[in-house]
Structure formats: structure tokens, C-alpha cells
């Protein structure tokens, strides 16, 4: 049995009752409204899968009600079928123009009405599934599966955008590059799965340490990057230090296992290509590596 909700709008209670019964018997949940204003109210509350809307109603006719329904964000894609005795060509065209997907003439034939309802409900369900899938794909396209941080491609794109904002509004912009120290040894000693857990725990420390406006990503295998908009070199260095210390003090899920990171912090210069800024941060990271690791250079 279907569990979709259908809102029926009619100013004649007897019509609501007959139609409600036909739809309930098919397994639909039914919501009702007896005028246009009430329809807007009920629709906003239940967000139905379909609206069956009478055209001729006092105060606000079905066309106006449909026009207003289509202005509400959550309802813009809810299909509306007009159910009316007014089915002249002008009426039908006017109905489609305000956003209806179909017309059913009164008096209606049950099997035809149900066939039209089923079709629109099915289309609506497929559209919602498609929307959800698109959202998931969009999320996947910018995130790293293992850590949930942003991925390499997205970080480069954001860095470039943040640079534009920083140049335009003359605000500081800094980046941090991190790399786990001797991570190969962790993998070799404890196995790849433990290595993955370490990457996740490190990512959690980063997620908890950064501000909402900072953009944290996994740049490569065991390399991380944080973009800090409107943040000076000095303040970004302090953030990087805090993360370094926190990671060094985090237990990594295996008795006695801790890891350290080395990092580099650089502030963006006006009109500097994104690659150059990235390279400066990376060079500073390698300076930290060569100076003994578990440190941040800027």
C-alpha cells in the first residue's frame, strides 16, 4: 500500500468526503482544506506528495491558490492537479500556466482519477529520489570518503576563490599544510587499517579545532590542508600549533600509538598565483620535516 499524502482542496464538504474515501481506499494518506488560504496552510505543514485542487472556490480561486503554493520553496515541486467542472480550453491553459500538471473533469470517473493520481505521485517520487541522489553525488564530489574532509580538487578551487575575496576586500588569508610524520612506519607496524583510523582521528582533531569559516581538507594520502580566510599569519600559526599539540596528545586507538605532524603556514600575497602560495606552505612544511618534525614553520 502506498503511504503518500494527498491534499484535497474543495469548498464542498461532500466532495471532500467522496474523494477522500476513494483515495483512502487506495492507501493514500489524505489531508483536506476547504478554501485556498487553508490549502496554503495545510500544504506548508504536511508537504503533500500531490494536491488535488478545485478551481471554483469563494474568496481565492484554485488558480490563485496554485500560484501562491508555487511561491513556497518547500512546495514548488509538489504536483497540482486541478479537479474542476470548468474545463474550457482557456481554463485548461490558465491552469497549466500557474503550474498545474494535469486536469481532471468533474464529475470524475474513479479509475481515471486514480490512474492520473498514481502517475503524478510516481513522477513526484522519482523526482525526489533523483534530487536526493544528486545531492549525495554533489557531496561525494567534494569530500574525501575516508575522513569526511574536503578533497584535493575542492581545496584548490576554494583556495583560488578565497584568494580573490582576500584581494578584493584586502583581508588576510592564510593556509596551513600538514603531513603526518613517519606514517609509513605506522602502516608497516600496525597495518593499513590502523593507518586509516589514524587518518580519521587526525581529521577529527582538525575538524574540532577549526572555525566554521575555515576550510579543512585531506590534500593527499597523509597530507592535510586548512584554508583560513580573514586570518593573519600569526593567528594561523597559533591554530596550527594548537592542532599539532592536540594530535601529539591524541591516543590513536592502539595501545601506546601516538603520531605527530609537521606543518607549514603561509599567508597569501596579493596577485600571487594559487600554486605559488601552496608551494610556499609546502616548502615550510618540508623545513619542519628537515628540522626534526613535530613542528610548524612559518
Ligand X SMILES: Nc1nc2c(ncn2[C@@H]2O[C@H](COP(=O)(O)OP(=O)(O)OP(=O)(O)O)[C@@H](O)[C@H]2O)c(=O)[nH]1
Residues of this chain that bind ligand X (CB under 6 A) = 146, 179-184, 187, 192, 195-196, 199, 221-222, 289, 293
Least separation in angstroms between CB 298 and ligand X: 19
4 or 222: whose CB is closer to ligand X? 222
C-alpha closest to that of 248 among 200, 185, 180, 188: 180
Give the 3-state secondary structure of residue 22: helix
Least separation in angstroms between CB 267 and ligand X: 24
What is each CA distance from 103 to 92, 194, 242, in whole angstroms?
7, 61, 64
86 or 218: whose CB is closer to ligand X? 218
Q: Contact 77/124 with Cβ under 8 angstroms? A: yes
Task: Enumerate the H helices of the chain as residue ranges.
Answer: 13-25, 36-46, 62-69, 89-97, 110-142, 152-169, 183-190, 192-209, 233-248, 274-290
Strand 102-105 with 80-84, pairing: parallel
Least separation in angstroms between CB 297 and ligand X: 14
In the residue annotation, 222 being an active-site residue is answered as yes
133 or 184: whose CB is closer to ligand X? 184
Least separation in angstroms between CB 161 and ligand X: 27
- Out of 59, 222, 223, 230, the active site residue is 222
Q: Which helix (H) or strand (E) holds 218?
A: strand 215-218
221 or 273: whose CB is closer to ligand X? 221
Active site residues: 222
Amino acid at each position: 500500500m502506498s503511504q503518500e499524502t494527498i491534499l484535497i482542496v474543495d469548498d464542498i464538504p461532500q466532495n471532500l468526503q467522496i474523494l477522500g474515501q476513494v483515495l483512502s481506499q487506495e492507501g493514500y494518506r489524505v489531508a483536506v482544506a476547504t478554501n485556498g488560504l487553508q490549502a496554503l496552510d495545510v500544504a506548508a505543514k504536511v508537504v503533500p506528495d500531490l494536491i488535488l485542487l478545485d478551481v471554483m472556490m469563494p474568496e481565492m480561486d484554485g488558480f490563485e491558490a496554485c500560484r501562491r503554493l508555487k511561491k513556497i520553496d518547500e512546495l514548488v515541486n509538489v504536483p497540482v492537479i486541478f479537479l474542476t467542472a470548468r474545463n474550457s480550453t482557456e481554463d485548461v491553459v490558465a491552469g497549466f500556466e500557474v503550474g498545474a500538471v494535469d486536469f481532471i473533469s468533474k464529475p470524475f470517473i474513479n479509475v481515471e482519477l486514480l490512474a492520473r493520481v498514481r502517475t503524478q505521485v510516481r513522477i513526484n517520487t522519482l523526482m525526489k529520489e533523483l534530487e536526493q541522489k544528486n545531492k549525495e553525488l554533489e557531496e561525494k564530489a567534494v569530500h574525501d570518503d575516508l575522513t569526511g574532509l574536503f578533497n584535493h580538487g575542492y581545496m584548490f578551487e576554494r583556495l583560488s576563490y578565497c584568494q580573490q575575496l582576500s584581494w578584493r576586500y584586502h583581508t588576510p588569508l592564510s593556509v596551513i599544510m600538514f603531513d603526518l610524520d613517519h606514517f609509513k612506519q605506522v602502516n608497516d607496524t600496525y597495518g593499513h587499517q590502523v593507518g586509516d583510523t589514524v587518518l580519521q582521528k587526525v581529521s577529527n582533531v582538525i575538524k574540532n579545532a577549526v572555525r566554521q569559516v575555515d576550510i579543512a581538507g585531506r590534500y593527499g594520502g597523509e597530507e592535510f590542508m586548512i584554508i583560513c580566510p580573514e586570518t593573519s599569519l600569526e593567528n594561523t600559526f597559533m591554530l596550527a600549533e594548537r592542532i599539532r599539540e592536540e594530535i601529539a596528545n591524541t591516543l590513536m586507538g592502539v595501545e601506546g600509538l601516538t603520531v605527530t605532524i609537521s606543518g607549514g603556514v603561509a599567508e597569501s600575497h596579493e596577485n600571487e598565483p594559487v600554486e605559488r602560495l601552496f608551494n610556499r606552505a609546502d616548502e615550510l612544511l618540508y623545513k619542519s620535516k628537515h628540522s626534526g618534525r613535530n613542528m610548524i614553520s612559518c
